[in-house]
Copies of this chain bind each other. A is one copy, B any other.
C-alpha cells in the first residue's frame, strides 16, 4: 500500500509500505479520509517523544471494512485502544488508562495510509447519507465533545452561560460547536490569524473575534500556551470554569491567587471516553454539529505539502482532510 511516512524531523515521504495484517479481533480498513491533527504536527516537528520516526502518523480516519464478517461496512475510527481490565476503563474513563494505546503511536501505525488495522470495538458504523469527509471529523469533534461535557458538568447554576473559546483551530471550532450542541448558546471564539478568522466568520454561527469582551462562565483553552492561560484566568468570572485542552507548551500563565480567591475550577481534558465518541458520532450524524463545511480536501500523496502549508499558517480552514485514493 501507499502511505505518508514520518521518516524524521520535518520529513514526510509518500512511499510503499507493507499492507497491515489484522490481529485477532481486528479488521482491515480501507482508509477513505484522514484528518491532520495538531498532534501530528508536533510529531512532524520531532517534539512528541511518544511518536518516534519512522512511523505512519494520522488517527482521524474513516473508511470501509475489507473482508470478514463486517466486509463493506462504512465506519469511523476511535483510535484509542485500551485494556478492558484497567480500573479506569472499567469506570468508563478509557482516556485515563495508563496503558492506553493510540493509533499512530508505537506499537500501532496510523492512518496516513491506504489501509489500517483496527480493533472491531473501535469502529462506529457510519450511515450512508454521511460523507467520509464528515465521518473523519468524529475524532477531533469527540475531543471537544468530551471537554465541553467536563466543563458543563461543573458549571454551576449561578454562573453565566457564556463561553469563550481560545483558538480557532479544529479543536476550538469543535469546542464551540459541541458547547452549542450541549445547550450553551452564547459562544465566542478568539482567533488571531486574520485569514482563518475571516474563514470562520463565513462558516460558523457564532462570534469570532480577536479579544475577549467581559467575563465568561466557561473558558475553553484550545491552544495551551502561557498567553492563553493568562487570558483564561483573567476572563473567567468568580466560580467559573477553565477547560484546558491545548498541549501547547510551558507551565506559566495561570494567576493562582486569583483562581483561589475566585474559586476557579481548572480541568485538564484529554481525548475522550468510548461513550463520548459514540455520542459525538451520533450528534455528527444527525446534524447537531452543523454543516461541517470548514475542512479542505487534499490528496494523501500531497500530504507533505499540506504539513508545510499548515506549519506556515497558509491554510484558512481549521482542518485538512487527506484522501489516500485520489
What's the nearest-Cβ distance from chain B to residue A87, in Å? 6
A156 close to B (CB within 8 Å): yes
Can you list, as one digit per residue, whether each of A7-44 has a CB less than 8 Å from chain B (1) or not (0)?
A: 00000000000000000000000000000000000000
- With contacts A260-B244, A262-B270, A268-B261 taken as known, whether A239 is within 8 angstroms of B156 at the C-beta atoms is no
Residues from chain B with Cβ under 8 Å of A239 in the complex: 88, 93, 96
Contact of A269 among B251, B257, B263 (CB under 8 A): B263
Can you list, as one digit per residue, whether each of A237-277 has a CB less than 8 Å from chain B (1) or not (0)?
A: 01100001111001110111101111111111110000000
A98 close to B (CB within 8 Å): yes
* B-contacting residues, A209-235, CB 8 Å: 224, 229
Contact of A90 among B88, B158, B256 (CB under 8 A): B158
CB pair B268 A263 closer than 8 Å? yes
User: Which of A224, A245, A261 has the most chain B CB within a 10 Å cutoff?
Assistant: A261
What's the nearest-Cβ distance from chain B to residue A7, in Å? 26
CB pair A156 B93 closer than 8 Å? yes
Question: Which residue of chain B has its CB nearest to the CB of A153?
Answer: B154
Which size bracket describes the interface of A in this complex? Answer: 35 or more
How many copies the complex holds: the figure is 2
Residues from chain B with Cβ under 8 Å of A246 in the complex: 260
Can you list, as one digit per residue, whether each of A58-102 has a CB less than 8 Å from chain B (1) or not (0)?
A: 000000000000000000000000000001101111011010000
A206 close to B (CB within 8 Å): no
Residues from chain B with Cβ under 8 Å of A270 in the complex: 260-263
CB pair A256 B251 closer than 8 Å? yes
Residues from chain B with Cβ under 8 Å of A263 in the complex: 93, 95-96, 150, 267-270
* B-contacting residues, A137-187, CB 8 Å: 150, 154, 156-158
CB pair A254 B257 closer than 8 Å? no
Residues from chain B with Cβ under 8 Å of A154 in the complex: 154, 265
CB pair A158 B93 closer than 8 Å? yes
Residues from chain B with Cβ under 8 Å of A267 in the complex: 263-266
Bound CA span A41–B106, Å: 54
CB pair B251 A257 closer than 8 Å? yes
CB pair A229 B247 closer than 8 Å? no
What's the nearest-Cβ distance from chain B to residue A266, in Å? 4
User: Which of A90, A93, A255, A264 has the most chain B CB within a 10 Å cutoff?
Assistant: A93
Question: Which residue of chain B has its CB nearest to the CB of A230?
Answer: B251
- With contacts A263-B95, A265-B266, A270-B262 taken as known, whether A158 is within 8 angstroms of B87 at the C-beta atoms is yes
* CB-based closest 4 A-B pairs: A91-B158, A260-B268, A96-B238, A259-B268
A91-B158, A96-B158 given; name 8 further pairs at CB < 8 Å: A88-B238, A91-B156, A93-B156, A96-B238, A247-B260, A254-B256, A256-B268, A260-B270
13 A-B pairs with C-beta separation under 8 A: A91-B157, A92-B158, A96-B239, A154-B154, A244-B260, A245-B260, A246-B260, A247-B257, A247-B260, A254-B254, A256-B268, A259-B266, A259-B268
Q: Which residues of A contact B (CB under 8 A)?
A: 87-88, 90-93, 95-96, 98, 150, 154, 156-158, 224, 229, 238-239, 244-247, 250-252, 254-257, 259-270
